[in-house]
Structure 1
Amino acid sequence: MFSTLLLTSIVVFMILCFVFYCAIFRTQDAQFALFNLFRHKRRSLSTIIAIILGGVSIFLYGGFIDYSFWILKEQTVRTNIGHIQLYDKSYFETSNKSKSIIENYSTLKSDLLNDSELSQDISTISGQLEFTGIVSQYESETSSYFAALGVEPLASLKLGSFDKLISGSDLSRIKHNEVTLGSGLAKTLNANYSDWLDVLVVNTQGGQGALSLGVRGIFESGIKDYDDVAIKMPLQTAQRIMDTDGVSKVVILLNDGVDLDIFRAKLDKFIADKQLPLMVKSWKELSIFYQQVEGLLSGIYFFIKAIVALIVIFMISNSMTMNIVERTREITTLRAIGLRPRHITKLFLLEGIFIGAIGAIGSLAIGFAIAGVINLNGIAMPPSPGQTQGYTAFIKTDSFDLIWITFVLPILTSSLASIIPAVRASKLNIADAFKFV
């Protein structure tokens, strides 16, 4: 992406340098090319409208895609995944996750927060303990498999902020014998607020752990498979039932604007310096679904940009080719009074660039206006695959890349489309002028 942006920037810079050179040192040429657009108003207007339609389509769909990526990222990061996760090195090599525990979590957390280079970028840090077992609600005579997550209650307000509480309240920092259930699991157990559940697990030592816990709340993450088995409980309670003082992973949520790659490099250095048996994973590595959606939508967006670019190229090329036919007498007259073929080529290139620039400015202006109207109410979207909740989408207009591509694409395509007609115009034979007298 960066290399593409750099290449287009270089090409556009060269085009702008060419325009500025003509405007300063060849003022008459620039004026002549600009005024020629107004001599054939209908053709110029139709071409500019086609460019604007394409540019607005790219801007609106690109803004929609950017928002889709952003909301999917936030949903992923804030469902107890965070931006960065630390694991024991053996975590992904064994199916028994209770044997891959990060010991001395409190000491590790303190060291991370006391490191000046890391702490300034960290918004929230939380240990989490994962385990599974059987949960029973004896009053309704129901039992079910569950997947539990022991979390720090205060940190979970940020890390689980996309979990929607539909009954009761969030985990308490004081009452450690209360849990929250996923909506699907609560329905399976026929459990409601203030009911008591019995939990049975195999702890990290290989023995059995059992505990009676009260239902403090019922939540819905929007991911059905997760809600059907999920239990969240205070980390202290999870450690007690699993007979450990460690955690399965350490989750880090970064401050807004922090570069993830730079922070990860500093964290890797921290782990290497202290020789810790830990490995680092980013949220994107852990979210296969996000990667699949990003690849799909990016491919569609590229296809749309390619189609729009081809349409613009053919429109401008056709318009300028017709322009040459109608202006053959003018072109050959200019040649007859001493203008070189290179000079004629330059005039037609300037016309194409001016058409593209007008179309680019119009695309941005109209695109921002339409996006503003759409964003007043948003776009109601159905649930994503695997989710149960729809969402309201908006057009994201604060992306530099989106603004840049909307501005650059019309200029690049119009410049490209002008090359062949411009060269063809410069090669017209002076004697052809007599055919149009």
Structure 2
Amino acid sequence: MNDFWTWVRFAWHNCLRNLRRSLVTTAIAMLGTAAILLAGGFALFTYDSLAQASARDTGHLVLGTPAHFAQDEDVPLQNGLDAVAALRGTLLADPAVRHVLPRVAFSGLVSNGDKSVVMLAQGVEPDSEFAVKGPFLTVRSGHLLESDAAQPQVMLGDDLARSLKAGPGSSLTLLASTTEGAMNAIDVVVTGTFTTGVPEMDKRAVYTSVQVAQQLLVTQRVSSLGVFLDRIEATEAARERLAAQLPQLRVQTWEQQAVFYQAVRGLYNRIFGALGLIIAVIVVFVVTSAMAMAVIERTREIGTLRALGTLPSQLLRSLGLEGMLLGGFGALAGAAVALAVSGALHIFPVQMPPPPGRSEGYPLLIHFSPTLYVLTMLGMVGLTLLASVLVARKTVHMPVVEALAHT
């Protein structure tokens, strides 16, 4: 152990011999580490935000008939669920399940008497839906649906309300095909308008209660049940338990439903993976160049040490430790910079522009992951060690006479 620290001190003094070159190499390692940590932290923040939003939208688990997930319906709720009350009781008996929300999804027309527009409607339980899911939409005007309202109520997407010239208190008519294939209509009152942050959705989205949706469609079925758990990490275990308990039905996870999440994750993995590879290549080239210059300058010194009995492996260890020290200090400094930037974004918020297909931006935050920090720092040290060893290997094995004669 004492011998090891002697070599470390020897490598440290060698690093100080050309301070400017060492500082440049350390700075490159620092910037590379900081860039990887900030990019990786941003990707992790994006993944976590999208995962939470997806799970909040559909439920951690979605329960339906096998045909509901595999086939298109000829008439509304052809593949819907019956005996919903009994199913909810069974699901709520699971210790991980906190809430079970029914959903009736249907399409049709919404009319103000003069103009009719295609709608994509959702029947929900007003009291539970907005309390359990949290702020999954932004109310622009009016208020949320009421469960004990005397008249059937709806909420309209902001752009749909503008198209129909409707607002809170307006009377509209919903038209849809029933489960028997006949047309049915029901008069409703608008309680409020909202935005989902997706303009295309706001042009068609309508929320109403499950009771109003079932009355319009003339059925007691629901499309599916959204199962909300105590934590997102329990999703897979709960899916296996419920699938075994209800073999006649199919249970899907939020991730299977979240097409947008999967697409963004795949894209970000490729982008940030390529970015990390480019940074690693830059660091390797910079360290290789710096160590190559150091080795060339010290070729006669290496020959002298070899003549005095120093083994090639010992010289290789010393030069490798130099690279490790430069990479290690650069990695520590880069981690400190990444932590400082992450903290500053919490104190001084930065708003990102709306992504494609959306109308609202989001805060720029960097997720802190101990695993990411440890792996990145170890990777940086490993890269600098590898670059140093590869450069020095030929010189330390050079014949002593050639090394001493080098100019």
What TM-score, normalized by structure 1, do the two folds share?
Answer: 0.87
SS of residue in 2 equivalent to 1:204: coil
Matched residue, 2:106: 131
| Contact persistence 2:335–2:373 (CA under 8 A) | yes
Q: Quick one: which of 282, 285, 290 aligns to 1:319?
A: 290
Correspondence list, 1:347-358, <5 A:
347-358=318-329
Provide Cα deviations, 1:352-374, integer angstroms capped at 9, x if missing partner.
22222111111101111122223
Where does residue 149 of structure 1 map in the other structure?
122
Q: Using the alignment, how far apart are the partners of 2:148 and 2:365 within structure 1?
A: 40
Structure 1 residues 338 and 56, CA, compared in 2 at 3 Å: closer, same or farther?
Answer: same
Does the C-alpha gap of structure 1 residues 314 and 218 become closer, same or farther in structure 2, counting only changes over 3 Å?
A: same
Aligned equivalents of 1:148 and 1:63: distance in 2? 37
SS in 1 for 2:192: strand
- Cα-to-partner distance string for 1:178-222 (whole Å, 9 max, x where unaligned): 111111211121111011111122122333332211111111001
Moved more, 323-332 or 249-258: 249-258
Equivalent residue, structure 2, for 1:161:
135
Note the 1:28-427 alignment, pairs <5 A.
28-78=6-56, 80-91=57-68, 92-96=70-74, 97-115=76-94, 119-120=95-96, 122-138=97-113, 141-157=114-130, 158-159=132-133, 161-175=135-149, 177-256=152-231, 258-272=233-247, 276=248, 278-396=249-367, 398-427=368-397
Residues 68, 393 of structure 1: 8 Å contact kept: no
**Which residue identity is paired with 1:337?**
L
SS in 2 for 1:101: coil
- What is the distance in 2 between the residues matched to 1:187 and 1:216? 14
Mapped contact 1:198–1:212 kept (Cα < 8 A): yes
* AA matched with 1:64: F
| CA distance in 2: counterparts of 1:401 and 1:270, whole angstroms | 36
Q: Secondary structure at the match of 1:198?
A: strand
Instruction: Decide which moves more: 348-357 or 283-292.
Output: 283-292
- The one-letter code of the counterpart of 2:156 is L
C-alpha displacement of 1:312: 0.7
**1-structure distance, mates of 2:275, 2:282:** 11
Residues 289-322 of structure 1 deviation map (CA, whole Å, 9 limit, x = unaligned): 2222222222110111011100111111111111
Is the aligned partner of 1:430 residue 2:400?
yes
Aligned to 1:19: none
Q: Secondary structure at the match of 1:171?
A: coil
Alpha-carbon distance in structure 2 between the residues aligned to 1:131 and 1:43: 68
Give the SS at the match of 2:220: coil
Distance 1:123 1:425, change over 3 A: farther
Aligned match of 1:16? none
Matches within 5 A, 1:7-18: none
Q: Measure the CA separation in 1 of the matches of 2:185 and 2:48.
A: 41
Paired letter, 1:411: V
Q: CA deviation at 1:77?
A: 3.3
SS in structure 2 opposite 1:246?
coil
Which residue identity is paired with 1:344?
Answer: L
Counterpart CA distance in 2 for 1:153 and 1:383 is: 29
CA contact (8 A) 2:299 2:404 kept: no
SS of corresponding position for 1:99: coil
In structure 2, the residue matched to 1:11 is none
**How far, CA to CA, are the matches of 1:400 and 1:369 in structure 2?**
15
Structure 1 residue 329: deviation in Å?
A: 2.6
> Does the residue aligned with 2:256 lie in a helix, a strand or coil?
helix
Alpha-carbon contact 2:92-2:98 (below 8 Å) kept: no
Hey, what's the Cα distance between the residues in 2 that align with 1:372 and 1:169?
A: 36
Structure 2 residues without counterparts, runs of 5 or longer: none
Normalising by structure 2, we get a TM-score of 0.93
User: Cα distance, 1:433 vs. partner?
Assistant: 4.7
Matched residues, number: 403
Q: Contact 1:81 / 1:159 at 8 angstroms: preserved in 2?
A: no
Q: Given residue 295 of structure 1, which amino acid in structure 2 is its aligned partner?
A: G
Match of 2:145, SS state, is: coil
Distance 2:404 2:266 in 1: 58
Looking at structure 1, the residues matched to 268 and 301 of structure 2 have their Cα atoms a distance apart, in angstroms, of 48
- Looking at structure 2, the residues matched to 179 and 426 of structure 1 have their Cα atoms a distance apart, in angstroms, of 80
1:90 shift after superposition? 0.9
Q: What code does the residue aligned with 1:110 have?
A: G
- Matched residues in 2 for 1:208 and 1:436: separation? 95
The CA deviation at 1:123 is: 3.8
Gaps of 5+ in 1: 1-22
Residue identity (%): 30
SS at match of 2:321: helix
CA distance in 2, matches of 1:407, 1:364: 8
Q: Which amino acid aligns with 1:284?
A: E
Q: How far apart are the structure 2 equivalents of 1:428 and 1:421?
A: 13
The RMSD of aligned alpha carbons is 2.0
CA distance in 1, matches of 2:240, 2:327: 42
The 2-side partners of 1:89 and 1:285 are apart by: 14
